[in-house]
C-alpha cells in the first residue's frame, strides 16, 4: 500500500473540504451583513423602553368598507394583502384604507382562472 498517496489524499481532502466550506461561511456571512439581515458582530443595543413606546406608530384608521361586505371578508382581504406585502416589499409601511366591490363584467373567479392558464404564455 502506498502510504504517501493515502496520507496525501486524506490530508488534502479534509483540508480542501474544510477550506472551501470555510470560505463559503465567510462569504455567506458577509452577504448576510450587507443585506442587513445577518447578525452583526456586536449585539444591537436594546432600545430604551420610553423610546420604544414612543416609536410605536399610531393606530391606523379602520378602512372604509362598502356596505354588504362582512367583517370576516375584511379580515381575509387584509391578511392576504399583508402576506403579499410581506413577500414583495418586506418592512414597507402601508395601510388598507378602503375595501369596495369592483364593477367587473367577467366573473372574478373566471378571470382568475383565465389569468392562471394564460400566464405561462
Partner 1 sequence: MFQTFIDTLADLAVKSGIAGFFAIDGGWKFAVMILISFVLMYLAIVREFEPLLLLPIAFGMFLANLPVAGLSSYIEGGLIYYLYQGVKMGIYPPLIFLGIGAMTDFGPLIANPKSFLLGAAAQLGIFLTFIGALLLGFTPQEAGSIGIIGGADGPTAIFTTTKLAPHLLPSVAIAAYSYMALVPIIQPPIMKALTTQKERMVVMEQLRPVSKRERLLFPIITTLVVSLLIPDAAVLVGMLMLGNLLKESGVTERLSKTAQNELMNIITIFLGVSVGATSSADRFLSPQTLYIIALGLVAFSFGTAGGVLLGKVMYKLSGGKVNPLIGSAGVSAVPMAARVSQRVGAEYNPANFLLMHAMGPNVAGVIGSAVAAGVLISILG
| Chain residues in the site for partner 1 (CB under 8 A) | 1-2, 5-6, 8-10, 12-14, 16-25, 27-29, 31-32, 35-39, 90, 120
Nearer to partner 1, 1 or 67 (CB): 1
Q: For residue 107, give the 3-state DSSP assignment.
A: coil
Q: Closest by alpha carbon to 101, among 71, 62, 68, 75?
A: 68
**Sequence-ordered list of residues with C-beta below 8 angstroms from that of 33, at least 6 positions apart, any chain:** 39, 40
Q: Give me the least distance between CB of 73 and partner 1, in Å please.
A: 28
Q: Give me the least distance between CB of 6 and partner 1, in Å please.
A: 5
| CB 113, CB 107: distance < 8 Å | no
Nearer to partner 1, 4 or 93 (CB): 4
| CB 85, CB 92: distance < 8 Å | yes
Nearer to partner 1, 44 or 58 (CB): 44
Nearer to partner 1, 26 or 50 (CB): 26
Q: Give me the least distance between CB of 54 and partner 1, in Å please.
A: 26
CA distance 44 to 49: 15
Amino acid at each position: 500500500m502506498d502510504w504517501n498517496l493515502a496520507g496525501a489524499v486524506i490530508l488534502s481532502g479534509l483540508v480542501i473540504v474544510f477550506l472551501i466550506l470555510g470560505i463559503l461561511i465567510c462569504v455567506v456571512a458577509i452577504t448576510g451583513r450587507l443585506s442587513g439581515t445577518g447578525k452583526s458582530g456586536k449585539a444591537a443595543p436594546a432600545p430604551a423602553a420610553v423610546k420604544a413606546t414612543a416609536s410605536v406608530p399610531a393606530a391606523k384608521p379602520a378602512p372604509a368598507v362598502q356596505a354588504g361586505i362582512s367583517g370576516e371578508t375584511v379580515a381575509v382581504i387584509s391578511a392576504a394583502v399583508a402576506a403579499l406585502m410581506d413577500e414583495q416589499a418586506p418592512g414597507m409601511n402601508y395601510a388598507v384604507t378602503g375595501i369596495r366591490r369592483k364593477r367587473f363584467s367577467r366573473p372574478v373567479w373566471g378571470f382568475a382562472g383565465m389569468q392562471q392558464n394564460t400566464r405561462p404564455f
